[in-house]
Chain A
Amino acid sequence: MKHRKIYILFLIGFVLLFLSGCRKLDVSDYTTVIAMGIDKSEKGVKVSVQAVNDFVLGSKPSQSSPVVVFAEEAASIYEAFVKLSNYSVNKLYIFHIQCLIIGSELAQEGIEKHIKFFVFHWETQHNFNIVVAQDEKAEDILKMRSVLENIPAVAVESKLENAEKIYGMGKITFIDEIVTYLYQPNTCLSLSSIAIVGDKEKGKDNESTQTTDPKMRLKVSTIAVFKNDKMVGWLSEEESLGFSHIFDKIEISVLHIMHNNEKLYIGVKNTSCKISFALINNEPTITLKHKMNVSVSEQFGPNEMDMLMEKINEDVKRLMEMAVDVAQNKYNADIFAFCEAIHRANPKYYQSIKENYDAIFPTIKVKYQFNTTIDRTRLK
């Protein structure tokens, strides 16, 4: 019995000895890539990676940069990524990427063939944010330093999350959603964008993080509109807000109304919007049922509430109409997934218009319904 136990222990030890060879690399043999960027290039695609400098993350403060950006051009993302190893001391490990930035030129050319790498590559996580660099190269965005976050990619991710919940300009999009929008017929993709404000050359320097007034800032900008897999344009700030009121749930935002020739701000909380479809007089009609809580900066009497509510709803409606109008008439791109609402409500009708949806989408009537609750007036 005693010998048997020794034999089993020996066997386990023997097996463990071989298992160590299953994965030859230790954590210290990896360089963690925290963000990636893809740009158009003459060879096909230029891949940039923002890799974390492990020494800076340690307890001892270092003068060196917390991240370093490498870039390589190739015919495909995979080829460029493999070639990037020529710049790195360790194997580049992309499991922890926080965001993927797409250069605006590449976005205009089409993203489908490039996105496939991130969909199918075993090393990629599926919950990283995907954004477009507004009128910039992705590589430039990756090179910008951040004051409040040591790692710039984490700053970009936090800004996007904030912007989605607060004000409503941002939109979190993961790779699985992109796949859904690209491969589902008739729905069009929309992505958040990130823009450089200020002098981008100074934004790369270490000094830019040692001042209270950096000469460059990264900010979440307006929504990029895609048709098929190509970016066709941008929404304006108000259109982006209108889009977020329809598409997303905003936690905190703001509206303005005119009252007694004065501009009053309205605090908006917890918006949601339900999209439903019905054929009314044989005309496809989408109804947007919008719900939100508001708080008002001024004191209003009970008899003024209806008027106040009407004005607030009018302002939201204005934003939403702007977004719908630009999607229907300027880009003819169903970024709100109205087609899926039609599909859900009336599959037979959807099958009949599916092939001809581009002609139908601009003619869809949109009705607005509001369920606004005033939490309090004269907020303090």
Chain B
Amino acid sequence: MKEKTHISRSQYLLIVFMYVFANDLIRGIYAKDLKNNLWLTVILGVIGGVLVYFVYTMLYRNVVDKDFGDTVTHVVGKVVCYILFILYSLYFIVLVFFNLRDIYEVVNIYLVQEVKLLWFAFLVLSLLFYIIAKGIEVFSRLTTMLFYVTIVIFVSFSTLIISFNKINVNYIFPIMEYGFGQLIKPALKMSYAIPFGELFALLGIYQYVKQKEYHYRYGVYGLIMAGAVLLIITLMNTVILGPIAMTLDIHPSLRISRRIEIAVFLQRFDIIVINVMMVLIIIKLTVLLTTTKYMISYVFKLKKPNIPVIVGLLVVFGICIFAPKNYILILDFRIKYIIKYANLIFEIIIPFLLILLSFFRRNQAKDLKAK
């Protein structure tokens, strides 16, 4: 079922980086409770995310020489593997919808007010289909190219923001006023949900890495890089906007980009930031859908693997039609149910059980390899 294609370890690193960076879009949902301590939680979240990712890689360490589907089949058997893959495909499709809705909200408010959700969804989903149909190699090359664009924009914008605004380091203090306990719960959420979680889909991409047995650490590097960038953005938000103004928006990066002004009229840099956000979200959605495509193709042994992609995209389009139009309701649902339960089940409970079981199947894997 696996495409006979490979990506390099550095391409995988950049995919992980862009995938995690995409979650910056709604990082602000944590700001309301944490205020000036948000940056500490980001650090803890990265550490948690790295640990979770490290545990995920145990699956490939315990069951060697197999692609993703065969690995899971080896651990839990065919039937359970098929059930899991179908459930995960649905879960990823739901995540695609939520991410699509996030970026639509930003585009609709700040960029093109007249654009309708369905038309926007149609365009983005068509683009996603095109990228996925081209295959993982093209996608990884595209990601590499977009990575450089993103980094140049990030560095130049950060420099502009720091140059044009007053920095008040005092906004960071007092550190941990209500103790360390206050940080733990949101840090755990950050580790398995947004921004440093939802990493299980990356296992579907990791199988394409050349000599994957030796390059587990590159995913960790990508995660740490994205964590460092998100930490810098969080610190900039805190010391420039202040802990109160930072909480006004679930898109603090966008709010701070509106503080750039060059010579009175050169101001609308937020549009470039929105475009970068679009790029990042499209990369994240491609990862989710590529893994979905792989899982469905594995279950149904499809000869035309693009069929599940079309079906998945149609399902997302259908959700767009029937889901509430009010973003607040969607965000509330996401925080109350998706992050609390769905993310926890699909990113922690099921993967950790899988990995636990893989330890029992480990010797057999070694035996097979020896044979």
Contact = CB atoms under 8 A, between A and B. Distances in A.
A251 to B, nearest CB: 13
B114 A126 contact: no
User: Could you say which interface size class chain B belongs to?
Assistant: 20 to 34
Contact of B242 (A154, A180, A343): A180
A340 interface: yes
B177 A347 contact: yes
Contacts of A18: 119
A11 to B, nearest CB: 9
A297 interface: no
Given A122-B109, A176-B242, A344 B174 contact: yes
A125 interface: yes
B268 interface: yes
B112 A22 contact: yes
B261 interface: yes
Contacts of A270: none
Contacts of B268: 95
A119 B119 contact: no
Given A126-B255, A179-B248, A96 B267 contact: yes
B267 A347 contact: no
B264 interface: yes
Given A127-B261, A180-B242, A184-B244, A343 B267 contact: no
A174 B112 CA distance: 26
A3 interface: no
Contact of B174 (A125, A175, A343): A343
B173 A344 contact: yes
Contacts of B244: 179-180, 183-184
B258 A127 contact: yes
A154 B248 CA distance: 28
B259 A119 contact: no
B114 A347 contact: no
Contacts of A19: 112
A98 B264 contact: yes
Interface residues of A, number: 32
B115 interface: yes
A113 interface: no
A125 B112 contact: no
Given A21-B114, A127-B259, A344 B119 contact: no
A23 B259 contact: no
A340 B170 contact: yes
Contacts of B165: 127
A175 B256 CA distance: 12
Contacts of B260: 127
Nearest to A154: B264
Nearest to B245: A176
Interface string B99-117: 0000000000110111100
A176 B259 CA distance: 10
A180 B243 CA distance: 8
B180 interface: no
Nearest to B243: A180
B265 interface: yes
Contacts of A340: 170
A177 B242 contact: yes
A122 B245 CA distance: 15
Nearest to B266: A96
Interface string B258-299: 111100110110000000000000000000000000000000
A344 B170 contact: yes
A147 B44 CA distance: 56
B112 A120 contact: no
Contacts of A347: 174, 177
Nearest to B176: A347
Given A15-B123, A154-B264, 17 more contacts: A21-B114, A22-B114, A96-B264, A96-B267, A122-B109, A126-B255, A126-B259, A127-B164, A127-B259, A175-B245, A176-B241, A176-B242, A176-B245, A177-B242, A341-B170, A344-B170, A344-B173
Interface of A: 15, 18-19, 21-24, 95-96, 98, 119-120, 122, 125-127, 154, 157, 174-177, 179-180, 183-184, 340-341, 343-345, 347
8 contacts: A23-B114, A24-B114, A127-B164, A127-B261, A154-B264, A177-B245, A343-B173, A344-B170
The 9 closest A-B pairs by CB, nearest first: A22-B112, A176-B245, A344-B173, A180-B242, A22-B115, A180-B244, A347-B174, A347-B177, A179-B245
